[in-house]
Amino acid sequence: MKNLVTLLVFIILSKMVIAQKTPDKIYGQLFTDIQTSKVFSDNKTFVDCAPKRKPADIMYDYGLAKNANFNLKKFVEDNFNLPSAPPVNQQEHEKDVAKHISNLWGILKREADKIVVGSSLLPLPYPYIVPGGRFREIYYWDSYFTMLGLKESGEIVLIENMIDNFSFLINTYGHIPNGNRSYYLSRSQPPFFCLMVELLAGIKGDKVYKKYLPQMQKEYNYWMQGASTLKNETSFKSIIKLNDGTILNRYWDDLEIPRQEGYTEDVKVAEDAVTKKMMTMRFASQAAMNNFKTEQEKNIYKNLRAGACSGWDFSSRWFKEPDKISTIQILDIAPVDLNALMYKIETLLAKAYKITKQESQSRQMTTASNKRYLAIEKYFTSKDLNFYSDYNFKEKTTTNIATAAALYPLCFFSNSSQDILKKGNLAKAFIEKYLLKDGGLLSTPNLTGQQWDAPNGWAPQQWMAVKALENCNQKQLAKDIATRWIKLNTEVYLRTGKLMEKYNVTDTHLEAGGGEYAGQDGFGWTNGVLLALIKKYGPRE
């Protein structure tokens, strides 16, 4: 009976959330006026508002009330419930940071959602954890790292609830959106769903693979859409097909308009980029100039959105000129971390099909993972770095930019071969030359003002690096990175009472910076990775 009720809830929610429109479609000129006039310092504020009454009535009154003396901010406050951040700073600050994190889960937890007409929130049927701060919804790849800590806190039911929510999203939309907001539906994020299933299977056994196998396959299909029909040296959505028939993946977003949660930032980047190009060109007519401008803006928006899909929004690893976001070219890049994740998905699908005695499908996925392994070795090995790097398929060369993402393949490749020991030595040399700092690992060594560049380090990077180094028998360096990160997180917490989204790993007494918004406190994936690393290596005195 319980399963039947759950199924009915899923069906009802699926039908209702699919009908939800994005804020720009619901509020039209009101949306544009609010974002362009910077009523709120953060463009995410309005798109997270919930209307106090019917959107149609709000828009009717807006049309009547708007005049030269109109107070737009007051109109919004009168007609919308403004979003609020989780009150993490009201939580008692325990001296033991691990205990504080365990207490924080209740603050960051959200119960099953209710539908609010006119809200951008996509309601989920089960409880979940939000990251904190301006991030008031579930986030895809954040959640895997959050789950690492939930596991250490014994919150297994909550882990399963979150995986069930992601299954619901896959069943409803065919993929897991960036987050459960209507304005995130056009893209996903780094595909960690299968790793979440693996995490839960490590706790509850192989029956977990059987339960989630349909959703694992559906997500893989989403990322591989078009692979079977694509011609060589072309691309389609998330797929790139090289001249030898090799299939690689890239990050993708279906839309070519400014991100709603980063509207003014995107418009400015596009304006700067297009203006610079147009200054060096001559046009046959005004129409030709307008068409050029429109197409160039669309291209910038598509690349900015794909950058958001990557989770690394933003970083010089995506730029043609390291210090200019206007030169973003992520759509030309096959990222090493994404393709390593796709390799992992293929190996886990092979395992799941074997467990469920579907031998033919298991062999197919094993073949796919073997091809992916060879492709990573061939296309992602940088001679300049003597290690992995992203691959620019338009220029047919590695980007030769040192990033923490280069460690992803070593998280997933088999550790049973002698070759992995050689790769471990290369990883050690790469890390010590480019990324290792007092507080842990940098995202990249490039100082650009972007938040996914120096001097910043992020929890996911530390965890994946530790896993990679453990996998290739560089256990001392893995411990060193872990203990540096634990020390930094703990010292900042004791000094400020905060667990931050990102950290300055170069000067551990300064805050992290860069990006489109101020530092956020909470913080889901920081909490999760910190607890997991403390469990592995203990706090550093």
Which pLDDT tens digit goes with each residue over 277-329? 888 889 999 999 999 999 999 999 999 999 999 999 999 999 999 999 999 99
Those residues with Cβ within 8 angstroms of residue 85's Cβ, 6 or more apart along the chain or in another chain? 132, 133, 134, 136
- How many CB atoms are located within 10 Å of the residue 537 CB? 17
Distance, in Å, from the CA atom of 348 to the CA atom of 299, rounded to the nearest integer, reads 35
What tens digit of pLDDT does each residue of 480-512 get?
A: 999 999 999 999 999 999 999 999 999 999 999
Cα–Cα dist 424/470, whole Å? 9
Helix H or strand E segment including 408: helix 408-412
> Read out DSSP for 173-215?
HSS--SBSBGGGTTB--S--HHHHHHHHHHHH-THHHHHHHHH
Cβ neighbour number for residue 34 with a 10 Å cutoff = 24
Percent of the chain with pLDDT over 90: 89
Rounded mean pLDDT of the chain?
A: 94
What one-character DSSP code corresponds to residue 96? S
Active site residues: 313, 501
What range does the domain containing 541 cover? 405-541
In a domain? residue 527:
yes
Contact indicator for 152, 97 with CB cutoff of 8 Å: no
Q: Which two tokens stand for residue 373?
A: 């392994």
d(CA 82, CA 76): 9
Cα dihedral 266, 267, 269, 273, rounded to 10, equals 140
Judged by DSSP in three states, 112 sits in coil
pLDDT class for 10, splitting at 50, 70, 90?
low
Residue bearing tokens 């977003």: 253
Q: What is the pLDDT of residues 237-254, one digit of tens each?
A: 999 999 999 999 999 999
Indicate the pLDDT class of residue 346, thresholds 50, 70 and 90. very high
Does the residue 62 lie in any domain? Answer: no
Give the tens place of pLDDT for each residue, 68-86.
Answer: 689 999 999 999 999 987 7
pLDDT > 90? residue 417: no
Q: What pLDDT digit, counting tens, does each position of 443-488 carry?
A: 999 999 999 999 999 999 999 999 999 999 999 999 999 999 999 9
In the predicted structure, residue 541 carries a pLDDT above the cut 60: no
CB of 403 within 8 A of CB of 444?
Answer: yes
Q: What pLDDT score does 520 carry? A: 94
Token match 């889901």: residue?
Answer: 524
Q: How far is CA 15 from CA 9, 115, 139, 239, in A?
A: 10, 12, 22, 29
Distance between CA atoms of residues 529 and 539, nearest Å: 13
pLDDT at 2: 47
Give CA–CA dist 190/201, Å, rounded: 20
Give the DSSP H/E element, type plus range, for residue 437: strand 436-437
Identify the band that residue 13 occupies on the pLDDT scale cut at 50, 70 and 90.
low
pLDDT category at 66 given cuts 50, 70, 90 is: confident
Give a yes or no: residue 463 inside a domain: yes
Residue 529 lies in a domain: yes
pLDDT digits (tens, 9 = 90+) for 139-153: 999 999 999 999 999
Backbone angles phi, psi at 401, to 5 degrees: -100, 125
Q: pLDDT tier at 8 (50, 70, 90 boundaries)?
A: low
Q: What's this model's pTM, rounded to 2 decimal places?
A: 0.95
How many domains does the chain divide into? 1
Is 155 within the bounds of a domain? no
Q: What is the dihedral angle through the alpha carbons of 138, 139, 143, 144, rounded to the nearest 10 degrees?
A: 150
| 500 assigned to some structural domain | yes
Is 205 within the bounds of a domain?
Answer: no
Question: What burial class does residue 93 get, using C-beta atoms within 10 Å of its C-beta: 0-12 exposed, 13-18 middle, 19+ buried?
Answer: middle
Separation CA 410–CA 388 (nearest Å): 10
- Got the DSSP string for 442-510? -S-S-BSS-TTSBTEEEHHHHHHHHHHHHHTT-HHHHHHHHHHHHHHHHHHHHHHS--BSEEESSSTTS
506 touches 442 (CB < 8 A) = yes
**Rg (the chain; Cα; Å):** 23
- Which pLDDT score is estimated for 67? 78
Give the model's pLDDT for residue 94. Answer: 85
What are the φ/ψ torsions at residue 513 (nearest 5 degrees)?
-150, -165
pLDDT at 512: 95
Tell me the C-alpha distance between 221 and 214, whole Å: 11
Q: What's residue 84's pLDDT?
A: 86
The residue behind tokens 């965890």 is 463
User: Would you say residue 12 has pLDDT above 60?
Assistant: no
For 429-468, b where at least 16 C-beta lie within 10 A, e where not — what string? ebbeebbbbebbbbbbbbebebbbbbbbbbbbbbbbbbbb
